[in-house]
């Protein structure tokens, strides 16, 4: 599927829509989720045009991949959730219930986040 250059996160990267920035470098942007599901809820996105982790893993440069993984750790430290723990979530595609078609990892924490998934 072709990357949608007008998805909401692409527009945030271009500065067309505001966000509450937590961290930014050449390759990565992290900002607060607009509808936080836990006390701390931050989204970490690559600035490049990757719709999900599958595309990112296959197409991103090594510099982008290194920057993204390092940024996730840095943001967790910056938020202080590394001390008591946190959850990373990367919803992917229809079955993964991905709403925004630009790769994003949710960092949720600041309180217990509960079991990983409800039983079926």
Look up residue 61 and give its DSSP letter: -
Exactly one of 41, 102, 104, 106 is catalytic; name it.
104
In total, the chain counts a number of residues equal to 120
> What distance in Å separates the CA atoms of residue 32 and residue 25, rounded to the nearest whole number?
16
The residues in 68-107 that bind ligand AMP, with binding defined as CB under 6 A, are: 91, 97-100
Rank residues 18 and 115 by Cβ distance to ligand AMP and give the closer one: 18
* Least CB distance to ligand AMP at residue 53 (A): 11
- Residue from 5, 34, 77, 114 touching ligand AMP (CB under 6 A): that is 34
Provide the b/e sequence for 74-97 (b: ≥16 CB within 10 Å).
bbbeebebeeeebeebeeeeeeee
Residue 8 interacts with ligand AMP (CB under 6 A): yes or no: yes
> What distance in Å separates the CA atoms of residue 106 and residue 88, rounded to the nearest whole number?
5
Binding residues vs ligand AMP (CB under 6 A): 8, 17, 19, 31, 33-35, 43, 91, 97-100
């Amino acid at each position: 599927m072709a990357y949608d250059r007008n998805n909401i996160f692409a527009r945030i990267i271009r500065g067309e829509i505001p966000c509450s920035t937590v961290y930014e470098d050449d390759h990565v942007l992290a900002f607060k989720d607009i509808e936080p599901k836990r006390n701390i809820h931050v989204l970490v996105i690559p600035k490049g045009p990757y719709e999900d982790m599958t595309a990112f893993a296959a197409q991103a440069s090594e510099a982008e991949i290194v920057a993204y993984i390092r940024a996730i750790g840095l943001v967790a430290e910056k938020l202080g959730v590394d001390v008591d723990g946190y959850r990373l979530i990367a919803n992917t595609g229809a079955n993964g219930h991905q709403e925004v078609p630009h790769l994003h990892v949710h960092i949720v924490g600041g309180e217990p986040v509960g079991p990983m998934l409800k039983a079926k």
